[in-house]
Structure 1
Amino acid sequence: MTARLFIRRKTSFPLFEVNLLEATDEQLLEISREMGLGLNVQEMTAVREYFRSRGRNPTDVELQTIGQTWSEHCFHKTFKGKIKFNGKTIDSLFKTYIRKATAEINPNWCFSVFEDNAGIVEFDEKYGIAIKVETHNHPSAVEPFGGAATGVGGVIRDVLGVWADPVACTDVLGFGPLNYDYEKLPSGVKHPKYVYMGVVAGIGSYGNNMGIPTVNGAIYFDESYVGNVVVYCGCVGLLPLEKFRRNAKPGDIIVLAGGKTGRDGIHGVTFASAELTEKSEEVSRPAVQIANPIEEEKLKRGIIKIRDLELASAITDLGGGGLSSAVGETAKRFNCGAVVELEKVPLKYPGLAPWEIYISESQERMLLSVPPENLKRVLEIFEGEDVEATVIGRYTDDKILIIYYQGEKVAELEISFLFKPPKTLKIAKYKPAEFEEPSFPEPSDLTETLLKLMASSIAEAAIQ
């Protein structure tokens, strides 16, 4: 790291102050690259101006938090940004087309859409169906088994994240031809047969270990998938609508439950938003998470019990962005701030820096908001399922995210800034495909050709 840009704080743990205030535009991009933030110069400039207004430089924890929150994977900047096309500007594809279509139809059976980890539609008067589908393309291209397995685990947790009980999985997959010529493989790209075997095994392994069957799906083989496999993972769950809770408030306790936190999955969302290259295997392998379906099965049982007893006020999963996304998004949704004590997060091994703890995407973790009077019972339920559950903070009424580590304040960010990145502006162009009219010689004897076709059809009918 460049000494002028990265200044080590005098703490007993790794904590850096990043000298944004004096950085040039070129150095802003250098900082973004060095730290794996995935932010462009416009976004880094906005960050610099925010901290300039605060009269201080950011810490590495703050910059990593912003990088995850502003990633394409977490914030969907392309869908929410502006796009110029055919002389007109579309302000948010999401609002103009995707969400608008549902709003215009206004179906009364849509219980919760475009709001939570999974959509919920009414099944009957008492139950709703929760559905989530998500791609896990990049991780599956780099590590097929783990990428596909954690894709399944992620959508199962998304369904749990709306209090639904996962009952079935569905997958749509796209691979290159299994007999693809090895000599034609681009540098750094795995052979389609290897990817195919790993993805199918990963999907089956996760669902089967949790007793959740894959009930349908589709599979396609085409050369267009050689460079980047397509792995759509989906999950369906059943929810008693009267048990749905979404009312966290200041004073509620932040409970982290499930697997321990490690370095696996760090920068997963910025990796998922980036382009695959021949260096992806070497550089991005740690961004692929490690799956543990047995842990998720125990976690699922605990969550369903807590749901049925109505002990928690809100829930979300720790997927892309880890604690960074889960804590921040929950605080924003309920118009709160949050105080987090990172040293309380259970770790797989010692030595993680505060920023690594906060943005790690280690799997099989959920975040619950629990009223203080229900905390003891919630912890007892998780303990009964052999699931580690820990109080790591609380929600506040000041709309500010404050993070501590070993008593040291390592981050302080306004929630309003954290969820307001600069709008993107993209130019869209469409060039219609031009097809040549096929040319083939006309048969010299059309009668003979017709008789051959008829004879072939009669022969096939006789065989059947």
Structure 2
Amino acid sequence: MISRIEVETKVADTRARVRKKKFTGLGDSPQITDLFIRDVYTIDKDFSQKELQAISSMLTNPVTQNYAIYSHPIKKFDTFDGAPSMNLGEHAPLSINPEQSRRIDWAIEVGYLPGVTDNIANTAREIIEDLLKTKFKDGEGIYTSQITYFAGKISRSDTQLIAESMFNPIIQRVHIKSYKEYKKAGGMDFIIPKVRLSEKPKISEVSLNVSDDELVKIGKSGIANSDGSRRGPLALDIAFMKTIQKYFKKLGRNPTDIELESLAQTWSEHCKHTIFADPIDEVKDGLFKHYIQRATEEIRVKKGGHDFCVSVFKDNSGAISFDNNYLITHKVETHNSPSALDPFGGAITGIVGVNRDTIGFGLGAKPIANSYGFCLADPRVDTPLYKGPNRTQKMLSSRRIMEGVIEGVNAGGNQSGIPTPSGFIYFDERYRGKPLVFVGTVGLIPRKIRGKPSYIKKAKKGDYIVMIGGRVGKDGIHGATFSSEAMDTGSPVTAVQIGDPITQKKLSDVIVKEARNKLLYHSITDNGAGGLSCSVAEMAKESGGCIVDLSKVPLKYPGLEPWEIWVSESQERMTLAVPPRNWQKFVNLMERRGVEATIIGRFTNSGKCVVKYEGEIIVDIGMQFLHYGLPKRPMTTIYTPSVNKEPLIPKVKDFTKPLLSMLSRLNIAGYEFISQQYDYIVQGNLSLPPLQGRGRINADASVIKPVLNSSKGLIMSQGIYPSYSDIDTYHMVAACIDTAIRNVVAAGGNLEKIALLDNFCWCSSNDSFRLGQLKRAVRACYDYATYYQTPFISGKDSMFNDFKGFDSDGKPIKISILPTLLITSIGVVDEITKVVSLDLKFPDDLIYILGKTDDELGASEYYAMVSESLNKKYIGNSVPKVDAERNKRLYQALNIAI
């Protein structure tokens, strides 16, 4: 029996009001006279009418909602490509709320495609299982969708436009019916978006005894399927492919498909950061070690006994000392490529993913604050872009991307019970092809747990390999390799995942509140990029090897290939090393908290990564080759300073108009509309909010109180100046570091207790000039971090933020982002009552400007405004330069004054 429960509000529905306003501006301005929404639960399991009534009562609020139940006796039908339309008997669309007489002209239903994570359905399934003391069997399920009904003078073409604005074809399906069609069919169709994988899972051997051209093709487009199509990018260039070819030739065999996929994940730019690690010009030890890591090492030595760094560059997050009892952790990630395809899914996956980086620090830190940052194109301008030729595979509009990423961070943070007090938004048209989505999490962990340092972990020989949390599906496959390349026609839709904050909240709580404090495991890490292939293999470095049985891994649905199970990035999963003596206690605890835990193998000291499937060994790779066998690729750079046109600045007597124009610019105007959507009060640790003063102005710094009974606080801020990279990336980085530090100092922070995080987002990183810009930028990181004595504790890079596709005329186009660096800053403040908000406090207070203003307007918002007024592109050449020695004295003096 297939049943549908349709839910409609009795009271005014804000969603409907917002949607009506949005739709009115589409197409030929359709005249919508009425619009209402129904939430739909489609249940593929036999329930009696009485049970369905009980379920409906649990899924609705009797005060504000009504529901109706419709059932169909057909049990099985193919739904992978959408179910056929079926006449289900007449039922009036208005019968839910009989007191409301409404006519409709169109109905649009939007639901998820097969295999896409449906968070509301997952929660509804759990409610039903708890309510009726039953379990959904394999093949049974519950699925959600939403119907928008509207009436008015609306053409079919306008309805189609409305539908396109409501769904993302990468993750969702849409069905449109006119009232006549709706009436004839007796309502909307019963659709079960069930994944149907008909082929039996198999392991393939991949011949590498092929030409160099074929090796290039395998590395770029993936392993060939039986029909000649390719699986998706491995992001392995010819040097990598030849190294792999040589390794397996020495073993006297070809690799299996899963071995090649595993190497691709582990060696991906996303995971190995080869551009920062490999030799570049005279820098033989790589940019990261030579500049960023060396800066931190030198600063720590110079600070001596005042060094507050505890764990840097070796765990999922960096950690500093907060007080004698606690450590503060911080990590900032990017989730750019997935957010370009599905903004909501990309952003929510990003925020819950960086939450797991916090839970995966040491033995497990508690997430206590989130941060965000968006670099986007102007949402008021819709520049059509297409991934495919002949105007196919249309990209989402700038507005859809903005709305989606904002909503994604909202859902991930608010539903996880983690405050989001800090963030920013920046606009430039060069983010149209690929947006930048920064997400960060601050964590808190006791310095010691039962007398043992909390930041030290190590999987041991004989420990069980345990996966906890969500199950594995096709979502997220090739996420790591996809993020290691430019986005183009071949970008895989399976690279998109949707995070489930409810599942993760349960996982987080049971780890950091219970299992950690009982020392039930030796090590823990996140299942992020590369899924099990990376998490297990990374932890196996701690013990010296591993053996995994993929047939033990819990799946969302049957039929996944072994290589898909191994590399899938399905969300809400973590891998732990649990000693056998603790297993029963551990699994009992997980079961009590509703978190699935499964033994999938053991850690060994064999020196090998071995993977089995149904008794057959399908991966047998030496740990040394897996992690360190990739070849070094020396890089050379070219750098020539830019020479730009200087604008003719008009003489102005009255600055009122230009001042108001400047204040209204997207990069200067407030973004309260974002801040007010995010819960920054939850957990009760807020001291200085993101919106300050009577006018609720976005502040440059926020302050939280990590330990509620302590007088200490933590200041959070950031610095970002992408436009400066048009002139000089060195001074761009200097400005980012200086601003991130200055914001903390202005809020009451001490320069001696500030730590930094770096997030590089670059473009065309195989281009010598772009590498030259990168080299200058990273050198500035060393120079200014050591000037200010502010160590880097964590960082990340995303090096191929380019879009290759087609414009509205069908012509090939490449859009590269501005070379961008986000510097995040955190500072421990000893007395939280002395932090300072930005608002003016009393009448007649004096206003001082501290520091010196020079003639440096290059790449400024003012120049951009003048350029737009003249319809020309003026950047200028005099980019603001940082005098670190002068500023350091100023910041120290200001701290004393505060």
Instruction: State the Cα RMSD in Å.
Output: 2.1
Give the deviation of 1:26 after TM superposition. 1.4
Report the counterpart of residue 460 of structure 1 in structure 2.
none
Residue 19 of structure 1, aligned match among 200, 203, 207:
207
Q: How far apart are 1:218 and its partner, in Å? A: 0.6
| C-alpha spacing 1:31/1:182, structure 2 compared with 1 (3 Å) | closer
Alpha-carbon offset, residue 430 of structure 1: 1.6
Give the aligned partner of residue 313 of structure 1.
522
In the alignment, is residue 111 of structure 1 matched against residue 323 of structure 2?
no
Aligned residue for 2:570?
362
Q: Deviations over 1:407-440 (max 9, x none)?
A: 0111100000001211122222222111234446
Paired residue for 2:230?
A: none
Cα drift, residue 252 of structure 1: 1.1
Alpha-carbon distance in structure 2 between the residues aligned to 1:194 and 1:329: 37
Residue 411 in structure 1 maps to residue 629 in structure 2 = no
For residues 363 and 384 of structure 1, the distance between their equivalents in structure 2, rounded to whole angstroms, comes to 21
Q: 1:110 Cα shift?
A: 1.0
Residue 344 of structure 1 aligns with which residue? 552
**Preserved contact between residue 520 and residue 578 of structure 2 (Cα < 8 Å):** yes
Residue aligning to 2:287: 93
1:185 to partner: Cα distance: 8.3
Post-superposition shift, 1:30?
Answer: 2.5
Which residue matches 2:217?
30
Structure 2 distance, partners of 1:65, 1:293, is 28
Larger radius of gyration: 2
Structure-2 residue corresponding to 1:7: none
1:62 lines up with 2:259 in the alignment: yes
1:263-289, Cα deviation, whole Å (9 max, x unpaired)? 000000011111012x26xx4221011
SS state at 2:348 partner: helix
* 2:592 counterpart (367, 384, 392): 384
Partner of 1:397: 605
Counterpart of 1:267, as a letter, is H
- 1:229, distance to aligned residue in structure 2 (A): 0.7
| CA contact 2:543–2:604 (8 Å) conserved in 1 | no
Aligned counterparts of 2:413 and 2:655: Cα–Cα separation in 1: 49
2:632 is aligned with 1:423? yes
Write the distance in 2 (CA, Å) between the matches of 1:322 and 1:248.
Answer: 18
SS at match of 2:434: coil
Q: How does 1:124-139 map to 2 (within 5 A)?
A: 124-139=323-338
Deviation at 1:44, TM superposition (A): 0.4
CA distance in 2, matches of 1:341, 1:316: 19
Name the CA distance, whole Å, in 1 between partners of 2:637 and 2:470. Answer: 43
CA deviations over 1:324-355 (Å, ceiling 9, x no partner): 000111112x1411000000000000001110
Q: State the match for 2:160 in structure 1.
A: none
Question: How big is the shift at 1:190?
Answer: 2.4
Give CA deviations for 1:63-121 in whole Å, capped at 9, x if unaligned.
0100000000111111111112xxx3443111001111100001521111100111111
Say whether the 8 Å CA contact 1:69–1:325 is kept in structure 2: yes
Cα deviation for residue 290 of structure 1 reads 2.0
Name the amino acid aligned to 1:172.
G
Residue range with higher mean Cα deviation, 24-33 or 321-330: 24-33
Aligned residue runs from structure 1 range 33-52, under 5 A: 33-35=221-223, 36-52=233-249
1:6 is aligned to none
Paired with 2:494 and 2:509, the residues of 1 have a C-alpha distance of 29
Q: Distance in 2 between matches of 1:146 and 1:453?
A: 44
Deviation at 1:147, TM superposition (A): 0.2
Contact 1:152 1:234 in 2 (8 A): yes
Q: 1 or 2, which has the higher helix percentage?
A: 1
- The corresponding residue for 2:539 is 330
Tell me whether 1:182 sits opposite 2:383 in the alignment.
yes
Task: Pick the aligned partner of 1:247 from 425, 435, 458.
Answer: 458
The equivalent residue for 2:397 is 191
Decide whether aligned partners of structure 1 residues 127 and 183 sit closer, same or farther in structure 2, where only a CA change above 3 A counts: closer
3-state SS, counterpart of residue 99 of structure 1: helix
CA deviation string 1:205-236 (max 9, x = no partner)? 11111111211111111212112111000011
TM-score by length of 2: 0.47
Equivalent pair of 1:168/1:235 in contact (CA under 8 Å): yes
Alpha-carbon distance, 1:302 to partner: 1.6
* Closer/same/farther in 2, CA of residues 453 and 256 from structure 1, 3 Å limit: closer
- Label 1:193 to 1:53 Cα distance change in 2 as closer, same or farther (>3 A): same
Q: Deviations over 1:240-263 (max 9, x none)?
A: 121314022111111100000000
Q: Give the equivalent residue in structure 2 for 1:462.
A: none
CA contact (8 A) 1:140 1:229 kept: yes
Aligned length: 432
Question: What amino acid does structure 2 have at the position aligned with 1:191?
Answer: S
Which of 289, 293, 296 matches 2:501? 293
Distance 1:178 1:26, change over 3 A: same
Name the counterpart of 1:231: 437
Q: Runs of 5+ in structure 2 lacking a partner?
A: 1-198, 224-232, 660-898
**Could you say what secondary structure the match of 1:413 adopts?**
strand
Distance 1:363 1:434, change over 3 A: same
Distance 1:396 1:220, change over 3 A: same
Alignment-mate amino acid for residue 156 of structure 1 = N
Q: Percent identity?
A: 43
CA contact (8 A) 1:170 1:216 kept: yes
Q: Which of these residues, 121, 131, 142, is aligned with residue 341 of structure 2?
A: 142
Deviates more, 1:36-45 or 1:150-159: 36-45
CA distance in 2, matches of 1:195, 1:78: 29
2:874 aligns with none
Match of 2:535, SS state, is helix
Can you list the C-alpha shifts for 1:15-71, whole angstroms capped at 9, x where unaligned?
101111x22211212222233311011100000100111111110111010000000
Answer with 74-83 or 181-190: which moved more: 181-190
* Matched residue type, 1:13: P
Aligned to 1:435: 644
2:330 is paired with a residue whose SS is strand
Counterpart among 350, 358, 370 of residue 159 in structure 1: 358
Name the counterpart of 1:214. 420
Q: Which runs of 5+ in 1 are unaligned?
A: 1-10, 444-448, 458-464
Q: What is the SS of the residue equivalent to 1:428?
A: coil
SS of 1:220's equivalent in the other structure is strand
- CA deviation digits over 1:345-379, x for unaligned, max 9? 00000001110000000000000001111111111
Decide whether the 8 Å contact of 2:320 with 2:328 is kept in 1.
yes
Distance 2:649 2:577 in 1: 69
Inter-partner Cα distance in structure 2 for 1:228 and 1:126: 42
Contact 1:133–1:235 (8 Å) recurs in 2: yes
8 Å contact from structure 1 (residues 338, 396) kept in 2? yes
Question: Secondary structure in 1 aligned to 2:520?
Answer: coil
Contact 2:379 2:398 in 1 (8 A): yes
Higher RCO (C-alpha 8 Å, min separation 6): 1
Tell me if structure 1 keeps the 8 A contact 2:384–2:397.
no
Distance change >3 Å, CA 419–CA 184, structure 1 → 2? closer
3-state SS of paired residue (2:638): coil
- On the 8 A contact 1:166/1:238 being kept in 2, the answer is yes
What's the CA shift for 1:172? 1.0
Change (3 A) 1:215 1:13: same
The one-letter code sitting in structure 2 at the alignment partner of 1:110 is: C
- In structure 2, the residue matched to 1:5 is none
Letter in 2 for 1:28: L
Corresponding residue number in structure 1 for 2:487: 276
Aligned to 2:790: none
Work out the CA distance in 1 between the residues paired with 2:269 and 2:640: 26
Q: C-alpha offsets along residues 122-153 of structure 1, whole Å, 9 cap, x if unaligned?
A: 11111001111001011111100000000001
Contact conserved, 1:143 with 1:285, CA < 8 A, in 2? no
Paired AA for residue 244 in structure 2: V
